[in-house]
């Protein structure tokens, strides 16, 4: 399925980012290590772009949102450094392929506002993408 390949492409790219931190993937068991940073991943689909004439395919579009979750009361330095690393790792114009589907990062990733959740200092990063999906 093309949407599965798109998700795998995006997640594989994220998993390749070093240094590695714990990741809560969609619908997978995850237990964060106390005192250690981790990130959660959400896939936010957008309306497909099917403006092309014909039935050969369309563009799937969406946002992969990575929320960085760092220990509270340690200052913003480590979280900010990881956020900037993530922004560069998914820079605008990047393309990568998985399972025959090529994913394009369509704009510079967007840093959302910081917030606190329980014992974590958090910042979401939104990565906008699209991929051409064949319907033939």
pLDDT band, residue 53 (cuts 50/70/90): low
C-beta of residue 72 within 8 angstroms of C-beta of residue 120: yes
Residue 24: CA count within 13 A, CB half-sphere: 15
Whether the per-residue pLDDT at 58 is higher than 90: the answer is no
Nearest to 10 by CA among 113, 110, 81, 104: 104
pTM for the complete prediction? 0.91
Query: pLDDT tens, 114-133?
Result: 999 988 999 999 999 999 88
């Amino acid at each position: 399925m093309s949407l599965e390949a798109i998700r795998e492409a995006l997640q594989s790219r994220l998993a390749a980012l070093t240094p590695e931190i714990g990741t809560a993937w969609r619908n997978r068991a995850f237990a964060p290590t106390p005192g250690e940073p981790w990130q959660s991943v959400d896939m936010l689909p957008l309306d497909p772009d099917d403006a092309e004439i014909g039935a050969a395919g369309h563009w799937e579009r969406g946002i992969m949102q990575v929320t960085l979750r760092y220990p509270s009361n340690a200052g913003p330095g480590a979280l900010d450094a990881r956020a900037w690393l993530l922004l560069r790792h998914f820079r605008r114009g990047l393309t990568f392929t998985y399972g025959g589907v090529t994913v394009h990062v369509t704009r510079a990733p967007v840093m959302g506002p910081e917030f606190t959740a329980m014992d974590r200092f958090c910042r979401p990063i939104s990565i906008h993408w699209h991929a051409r999906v064949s319907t033939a």
